[in-house]
């Protein structure tokens, strides 16, 4: 079976599974509270100790790392409890967590999690978190560093790192004189990595509609291989985009982490506008988080962290829904497949969480 078919069938199988009706809400809430009580005993102690000792590197010290696992394990235990009880809608179980001291000692103390919650740039994982989560040595101290570990370690954070790496790998393989369009680009980390590490003549056009994004990009003083322009994806037509690109045809056009936020009705038009700018034989890549499937490490309860704790709502799509982005294209003009992190070729890799729609222009 082809990887594409495997993705579709894994998702369809899961859709068929029925939720159970026998849920004892108060017993589960009580169990959550007990898990949190136990964790709090450890955390209060760590907090006092870690604030006192500023001379050790608590992120690499085995004892402290072990203690940091308390937070991660507590969150994992709650998620496991919800999974065992087949809870389809975890929002009913957020209250015991929100009102518990554990919340202040862990989630609210982790500036990465707090940043995701507060959303200074309207979406959870903005440039600041993107940079911090991709850096080897994070700029936090003591207790905060410990509390950040759980957050930067869960599958969503990992898939975000994988996404940037996957795109970077693609850029590295482009031949000299390629032209690349990146729609909704901020912070375009993969482009920045490419510019830092390669002299190859590849021209990038970075488009975004957010003034802060555009300011940030200008401040980076990226080299003359980069053109930065303001563009609103919702208003793009084939002609408008062609004008923005001064009629130049692209070797690669991509947008990552835009479609997860926008209603499906906008997707085919944006897809078409980008596709039409491609040179024949070249590629369009669109990313979207995949819906729950047996091979997706973002099970429904993982959304307990994303949606309930961090108020971070994305649109997860099935391969069929992602395929629908192509609905305005002439089927004779392209071929496509849906790939995953690292554009993995092994369909058995149990780490699928991102759907990369890869479209090749045939004429
Ligand atoms: C979650 S970030 C993704 C950034 C980057 N592509 C990445 O993968 O790290 C979403 C980006 O989409 C931009 N954006 C949101 N709505 C947009 C729109 N209607 N038109 C153009 N850009 C948009 C935001 O300003 C932001 O830079």
Q: 1-5, 44-48, 175-179, 244-248 — which is least confidently predicted?
A: 1-5
Do both 138 and 271 map to the same domain?
A: no
Among 130, 154, 178, identify where a domain stops: 154
Among 135, 154, 173, identify where a domain stops: 154
pLDDT tens profile 145-173: 667 776 776 777 777 777 888 899 999 99
User: Ligand 1 pocket, 150 CB below 6 A?
Assistant: no
Residues 6+ apart with CB under 8 A from 328: 268, 269, 271, 272
Do both 67 and 90 map to the same domain?
A: yes
Do both 125 and 181 map to the same domain?
A: no
Q: Given the structure tokens 């039409």, which residue do they identify?
A: 276
User: Ligand 1 pocket, 233 CB below 6 A?
Assistant: yes
183 three-state secondary structure: strand
| Residue 182 CA, closest ligand 1 atom number | 6
Beta bridge partners of 250: 278
pLDDT tens profile 117-138: 888 877 777 777 777 776 655 5
The token duo for 328 is 């305005």
User: Ligand 1 pocket, 71 CB below 6 A?
Assistant: no
Q: Give 18 Cα–ligand 1 centroid separation in angstroms.
A: 36
Do both 144 and 216 map to the same domain?
A: no
Do both 257 and 143 map to the same domain?
A: no
pLDDT on residue 265: 94
Do both 195 and 334 map to the same domain?
A: yes
pLDDT band at 7 (very low <50, low <70, confident <90, very high): very low
In the predicted model, what is the mean pLDDT of the chain?
82
pLDDT tens profile 326-360: 999 999 999 999 887 655 444 455 456 788 899 99
pLDDT on residue 50: 62
Q: Which domain holds residue 285?
A: 157-361
Q: Is residue 343 part of a domain?
A: yes
Q: Is residue 3 part of a domain?
A: no
| Gap between the terminal Cα atoms of the chain | 28
Do both 191 and 162 map to the same domain?
A: yes
Q: Domains in the chain: how many in total?
A: 2
Residues 6+ apart with CB under 8 A from 92: 25
User: Ligand 1 pocket, 44 CB below 6 A?
Assistant: no
Do both 219 and 82 map to the same domain?
A: no
Q: Is residue 9 part of a domain?
A: no
Q: 6-10, 18-22, 25-29, 76-80 — which is least confidently predicted?
A: 6-10
User: Ligand 1 pocket, 234 CB below 6 A?
Assistant: yes
pLDDT band at 143 (very low <50, low <70, confident <90, very high): low
Q: Torsion-angle region of residue 206: left (phi > 0), alpha (psi -120 to 50) or beta? A: beta
pLDDT on residue 139: 52
Whole-model pTM: value is 0.82
Q: Which residue has the higher pLDDT, 22 or 26?
A: 26
Q: Is residue 251 part of a domain?
A: yes
Q: Is residue 332 part of a domain?
A: yes
CATH of the domain at 306: 3.40.50.150
Nearest CA owner, ligand 1 atom 12: 184
Q: Please choose from 156, 180, 209, 267 the residue to mutate so as to test ligand 1's pocket, defined by most ligand atoms within 8 A of CB.
A: 209
pLDDT band at 75 (very low <50, low <70, confident <90, very high): confident
Contact between 40 and 100 (Cβ < 8 Å): yes
Q: Give 209 Cα–ligand 1 centroid separation in angstroms.
A: 8
Q: Which residue has the higher pLDDT, 307 or 48?
A: 307
pLDDT tens profile 295-336: 676 766 667 788 888 888 889 898 899 999 999 999 999 999
Nearest CA owner, ligand 1 atom 24: 184
Query: Span 256-277, mean pLDDT?
Result: 95
Q: Is residue 82 part of a domain?
A: yes
Nearest CA owner, ligand 1 atom 27: 186
Do both 177 and 304 map to the same domain?
A: yes
Query: Span 238-247, mean pLDDT?
Result: 97
Among 106, 124, 154, identify where a domain stops: 154
Q: Please choose from 119, 132, 171, 184 the residue to mutate so as to test ligand 1's pocket, defined by most ligand atoms within 8 A of CB.
A: 184
Do both 243 and 147 map to the same domain?
A: no
Q: 12-21, 57-66, 308-317, 347-356 — which is least confidently predicted?
A: 12-21
Side-by-side strand order, sheet with 278-289: 226-230, 203-208, 179-183, 250-255, 278-289, 354-361, 334-339
Residue 115 has pLDDT above 90, yes or no: no
Q: Is residue 46 part of a domain?
A: yes
pLDDT on residue 18: 40
Q: Is residue 17 part of a domain?
A: no
Q: Give 256 Cα–ligand 1 centroid separation in angstroms.
A: 8
Do both 303 and 265 map to the same domain?
A: yes
pLDDT on residue 57: 62
């Amino acid at each position: 079976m082809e990887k594409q078919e495997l993705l579709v069938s894994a998702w369809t199988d899961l859709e068929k599974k029925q939720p159970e009706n026998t849920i004892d809400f108060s017993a589960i809430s009580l169990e959550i509270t007990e898990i949190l009580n136990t964790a709090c005993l450890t955390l209060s102690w760590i907090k006092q100790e870690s604030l006192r000792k500023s001379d050790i590197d608590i992120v690499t010290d085995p004892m402290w790392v072990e203690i940091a696992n308390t937070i991660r394990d507590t969150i994992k235990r709650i998620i496991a409890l919800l999974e065992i009880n087949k809870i389809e809608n975890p929002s009913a179980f957020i209250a015991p967590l929100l009102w518990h001291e554990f919340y202040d000692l862990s989630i609210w103390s982790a500036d990465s999690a707090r940043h995701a919650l507060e959303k200074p740039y309207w979406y959870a994982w903005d440039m600041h978190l993107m940079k911090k989560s991709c850096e080897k040595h994070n700029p936090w101290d003591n207790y905060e560093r410990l509390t950040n570990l759980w957050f930067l370690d869960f599958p969503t954070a990992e898939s975000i790192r994988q996404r940037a790496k996957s795109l970077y790998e693609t850029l590295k393989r482009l031949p000299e004189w390629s032209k690349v369009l990146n729609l909704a680009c901020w912070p375009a980390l993969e482009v920045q990595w490419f510019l830092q590490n390669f002299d190859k003549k590849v021209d990038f056009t970075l488009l975004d509609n957010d003034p802060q994004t555009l300011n940030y990009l200008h401040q980076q003083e990226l080299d003359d291989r980069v053109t930065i322009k303001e563009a609103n994806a919702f208003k793009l037509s084939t002609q408008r985009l062609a004008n923005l690109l001064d009629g130049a045809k692209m070797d690669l056009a991509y947008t990552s982490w835009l479609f997860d936020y926008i209603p499906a009705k906008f997707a085919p038009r944006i897809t078409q506008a980008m596709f039409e700018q491609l040179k024949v034989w070249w590629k369009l890549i669109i990313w979207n988080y995949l819906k729950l499937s047996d091979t997706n490490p973002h099970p429904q309860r993982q959304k307990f962290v994303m949606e309930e704790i961090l108020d971070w709502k994305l649109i997860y799509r099935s391969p069929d829904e992602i395929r629908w982005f192509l609905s305005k294209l002439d089927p004779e003009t392209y071929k496509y497949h849906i790939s995953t992190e690292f554009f993995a070729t092994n369909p058995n890799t149990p780490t699928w969480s991102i759907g990369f729609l890869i479209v090749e222009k045939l004429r």
